[in-house]
């Protein structure tokens, strides 16, 4: 291993989920040299909706209209929650810098500054979130106003049923009509999947055929909804063209994971992060991180075995939880997989899960993770910083049940920004 080629960098980011990608963006924009390694992460499973905070306390399922008030309540009630280490300004700044990057390459987001919005899920329930892909915004407004709208699904598409959405949401959107169409040239698609339809929508020919199919059904309709299929690479242009051609507002609804909005984010991050100078090693795994005597860290990585080495002044661990690979549970303990960092977890395995799977309080195992100081440096059980310039961010962090609290991406971006800023300040 000592013969591996060595590169020197300011920062090494482990992980290519939203936390790792945003950390790389923030660091590169601040002039740092950055190497990054990881596999796809949860991005591709994400609905594309970006939460700040919506549910607290989870046991009461209390939904908050104002995400910032929810965040303040969580910080006050849960002093170990990652949000207790950041301010509203941090979250806004982190999202702002991320939106600038995404928007530069055509992915726009919309939101109300001080309010959560309601997006219909593919099964017709309401999801409370903060920032919404611009392609979904007309649906948020049409739903809020009970506007006359037409929701379309497609013959043979099992992922999405317009009728199910309309039936579930019922009287709350009584002016929503549904219809089923045959997607252009779908006879050649086997199976019919939103990802394939989205690729096909990149072709002008497909779009023109679709517009012709929809146009006869627009009488009295103010908005037309489809499952998320409006392309992968030129989504903004497709939305604009479709609204112009149909003469009504157009919106997408999220679909089940792995969804097209998740694919768009993945494709944009993976394809464009190098424009900032980030040296991205996709599908690479970090095998070891060793502190050196001079305060730097030696990182070895490769596809199946270590084939490269970076010596970096700092490391951001954005390795996720069990799905991402940052945490691993053996028969007795939960361990952090890359550096063997201390993991905050219930004392006994018996306590990981409650007896009832659907217990409204959730399960203690969902809040296990790495505990950090206010600079997002991992600490041990006595609160002592473990490594001077190693930072843990995103869903790897302890004391958050992001799935129930609806705060996943907000924590990912805010912790990444604070970690990068702390590293810069330490230089
Ligand atoms: C189904 C689903 C739906 C979601 N919906 C929403 C939503 O609607 N709104 C919202 O705000 N959030 C949502 N989230 C959550 C959100 O996607 C995550 O909280 C957020 O992406 C943070 O993830 P992360 O980057 O911390 O971890 P992950 O996305 O899990 O990424 C972990 C990364 O670490 C890498 N890694 C791990 N070990 C190593 C190693 N040894 N070497 C190199 N790389 C390594 C992995 O390859 C991966 O790239 C959803 C998540 C899922 C799964």
Confidence of residue 168 (pLDDT cuts 50, 70, 90): very high
Q: What is the pLDDT of residues 216-259, one digit of tens each?
A: 999 999 999 999 999 999 999 999 999 999 999 999 999 988 89
Strand locations in 256-401, DSSP E?
279-282, 285-291, 297-302, 308-317, 327-329, 334-336, 390-392
* Ligand 1 centre distance from Cα of residue 412 (Å): 9
pLDDT for the residue numbered 260: 96
pLDDT for the residue numbered 188: 86
Confidence of residue 362 (pLDDT cuts 50, 70, 90): low
State percent of the chain over pLDDT 90: 84
Confidence of residue 367 (pLDDT cuts 50, 70, 90): confident
Q: Residue 41 pLDDT > 80, yes or no? A: no
* Residue 299 in contact with ligand 1 by CB distance below 6 A: no
Atom of ligand 1 nearest to the CA of 324: 30
* Residue 261 in contact with ligand 1 by CB distance below 6 A: no
Least confident of 137-141, 250-254, 260-264, 363-367: 363-367
Residue pair 246/222 in contact (Cβ under 8 Å)? The answer is no
Residue pair 202/233 in contact (Cβ under 8 Å)? The answer is yes
pLDDT for the residue numbered 5: 83
* DSSP label at residue 333: -
* Residue 6 in contact with ligand 1 by CB distance below 6 A: no
**Which tokens belong to 46?**
């994400």
pLDDT for the residue numbered 78: 92
pLDDT for the residue numbered 332: 82
The protein residue with its alpha carbon nearest to ligand 1, atom 3, reads: 46
Mean pLDDT of the chain: 94
Burial of 54 (0-12, 13-18, 19+ CB in 10 A): buried
- Report the pLDDT averaged over residues 287-308: 97
172's CB contacts (< 8 A; 6+ apart) are 143, 146
pLDDT for the residue numbered 2: 66
Beta pairing class for 223-227 and 249-253: parallel
Phi-psi region for residue 399, left (φ > 0), alpha (ψ -120 to 50) or beta? Answer: left
The string of DSSP letters for 46-107 reads S-S-B-S--B-SGGGT-B-S-HHHHHHHHHHH-TTSGGGGS-HHHHHHHHHHHHHHHHHTT-
Confidence of residue 354 (pLDDT cuts 50, 70, 90): low
* Ligand 1 centre distance from Cα of residue 42 (Å): 4
**Which tokens belong to 103?**
């928007």
**Which tokens belong to 170?**
């019922």
Atom of ligand 1 nearest to the CA of 320: 27
Confidence of residue 15 (pLDDT cuts 50, 70, 90): very high
- Report the pLDDT averaged over residues 80-97: 97
**In angstroms, rounded to a whole number, what is the distance separating the alpha carbons of residues 276 and 285?**
22
Residue 74, number of CB atoms within 10 A of its CB: 22
* Ligand 1 centre distance from Cα of residue 43 (Å): 6
Helices and strands counted in the chain (H then E): 11, 17
The protein residue with its alpha carbon nearest to ligand 1, atom 8, reads: 49
**Which tokens belong to 211?**
């517009």
* Residue 323 in contact with ligand 1 by CB distance below 6 A: yes
* Residue 318 in contact with ligand 1 by CB distance below 6 A: yes
Q: Residue 44 pLDDT > 90, yes or no? A: no
| Residue of 259, 324, 328, 407 best suited for mutating to test ligand 1, as the one with most atoms within 8 Å of CB | 324
Confidence of residue 403 (pLDDT cuts 50, 70, 90): confident
* Residue 336 in contact with ligand 1 by CB distance below 6 A: no
Q: What is the pLDDT of residues 312-353, one digit of tens each?
A: 999 999 999 998 999 999 888 999 999 999 998 877 776 767
pLDDT for the residue numbered 195: 94
Q: Residue 293 pLDDT > 70, yes or no? A: yes
* Ligand 1 centre distance from Cα of residue 221 (Å): 38
The protein residue with its alpha carbon nearest to ligand 1, atom 41, reads: 286
Atom of ligand 1 nearest to the CA of 257: 1
Place of tokens 């019922």: 170
Q: Residue 106 pLDDT > 80, yes or no? A: yes
Q: Higher confidence at residue 358 or residue 404?
A: 404
């Amino acid at each position: 291993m000592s013969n591996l080629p060595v590169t020197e960098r300011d920062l090494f980011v482990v992980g290519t989920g939203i936390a790792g990608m945003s950390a790389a963006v923030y660091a590169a924009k601040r002039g740092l040299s950055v190497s990054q390694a990881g596999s796809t992460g949860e991005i591709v499973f994400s609905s594309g909706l970006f939460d700040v905070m919506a549910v607290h306390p989870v046991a009461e399922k209390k939904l908050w209209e104002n995400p910032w008030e929810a965040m303040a309540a969580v910080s006050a009630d849960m002093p170990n929650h990652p949000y207790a280490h950041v301010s509203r300004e941090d979250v806004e700044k982190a999202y702002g810098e991320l939106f600038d990057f995404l928007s530069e390459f055509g992915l726009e987001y919309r939101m109300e500054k001080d309010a959560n919005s309601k997006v219909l899920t593919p099964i017709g329930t309401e999801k409370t979130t903060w920032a919404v892909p611009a392609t979904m915004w007309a649906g948020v407004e049409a739903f809020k106003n009970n506007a006359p709208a037409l929701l379309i699904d497609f013959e043979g598409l099992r992922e999405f049923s317009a009728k199910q959405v309309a039936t579930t949401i019922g009287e709350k959107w009584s002016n929503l009509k549904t219809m089923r169409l045959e997607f252009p040239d779908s006879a050649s698609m086997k199976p019919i999947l939103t990802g394939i339809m989205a690729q096909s929508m990149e072709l002008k020919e497909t779009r023109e055929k679709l517009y012709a199919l929809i146009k006869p059904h627009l009488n009295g309709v103010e908005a037309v909804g489809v499952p998320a299929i409006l392309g992968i690479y030129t989504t903004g242009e497709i939305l604009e063209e479709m609204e112009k051609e149909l003469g009504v507002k157009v919106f997408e609804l999220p679909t089940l994971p792995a969804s097209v909005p998740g694919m768009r984010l993945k494709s944009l991050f993976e394809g464009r992060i190098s424009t900032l100078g980030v040296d991205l090693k996709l599908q690479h795994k970090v095998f070891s991180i060793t502190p050196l005597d001079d305060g730097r860290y030696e990182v070895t990585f490769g596809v199946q075995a270590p084939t490269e080495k970076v010596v970096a002044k700092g490391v951001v661990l954005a390795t996720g939880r069990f799905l991402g690979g940052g945490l691993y549970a053996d028969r007795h303990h939960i361990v952090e997989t890359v550096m063997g960092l201390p993991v905050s977890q219930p004392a006994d395995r018996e306590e990981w899960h409650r007896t009832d799977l659907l217990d409204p309080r959730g399960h203690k195992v969902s809040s296990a993770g790495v505990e950090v100081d206010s600079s997002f440096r991992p600490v041990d059980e006595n609160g002592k910083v473990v490594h001077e310039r190693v930072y843990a961010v995103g869903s790897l962090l302890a004391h958050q049940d992001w799935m129930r609290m609806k705060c996943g991406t907000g924590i990912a971006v805010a912790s990444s920004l604070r970690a990068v800023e702390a590293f810069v300040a330490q230089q």
